[in-house]
Homo-oligomer: A and B are copies of this chain.
Amino acid sequence: MSIMETYFKEKFPFSDDEIQLIFSYFKKVEIKKGAYFLEAGQYCKKIAFIEEGAVVFYQLIDGDEKSCGFTFENDWITQYKSLIQNITSELYIKALETTTLMEISLENMLELIAVLPKAIMLRTELAEEYFISSAQRASDLANLEAEEHYYKLIKDNPNLIHRVPQYYLASYLGIKPQSLSRIRAKS
């Protein structure tokens, strides 16, 4: 069974036949380390499930790459705002490692939902997961000191220590790389 199949069986009440149907709308894609799933200025017209690998979401602000998220295997990526509002993306989504994706185009997703209406669950699930994690990040940014925020983050997701460059982690925490170095030196 593929990684995505296991994920689907655990997460959604689809039958085996429905899963076969859903999977027929996806295709496998590999992105090399450093390559882009999406670049700022593009319209995001796809959603993907990461079978293996890791990506960073970032915005280019005054020439600096300011990260706003990381996604690892067993989870979904898309640029949701661009996707649903049909506007160009402000964000880049870049592979931090060679990454294997199962990708579905927006067009195929809409066709799938027309054929199998309950597949809209995928979209709802995605929006809900994204909302909960971004609300948590906003709350932590507003209410925690940088040091607390850092320890909470790596406790919740130990992947961040070894798989994400320090400058991305710093901008995700809203601090300078030097401040993050000082926090890490203490521990």
Contacts and interface: CB of A to CB of B under 8 A. Distances in A.
Interface in A159-181: 171-174
A142 interface: yes
Nearest to A90: B139
Interface in A124-148: 124, 127-128, 130-132, 134-135, 137-139, 141-143
A153 B59 CA distance: 20
Query: What's the number of copies of this chain in the assembled complex?
Result: 2
Interface stretch (A17-25, A39-47, A92-100, A115-123): A115-123
Interface of A: 59, 61, 66, 68, 80-81, 84, 117-118, 120, 123-124, 127-128, 130-132, 134-135, 137-139, 141-143, 171-174
29 contacts: A59-B139, A61-B143, A66-B143, A68-B138, A68-B139, A80-B128, A80-B131, A80-B132, A80-B135, A84-B128, A117-B117, A120-B120, A123-B124, A127-B127, A127-B131, A128-B131, A130-B131, A131-B131, A131-B134, A134-B135, A134-B137, A134-B138, A137-B138, A138-B138, A141-B141, A141-B142, A142-B171, A142-B172, A143-B171
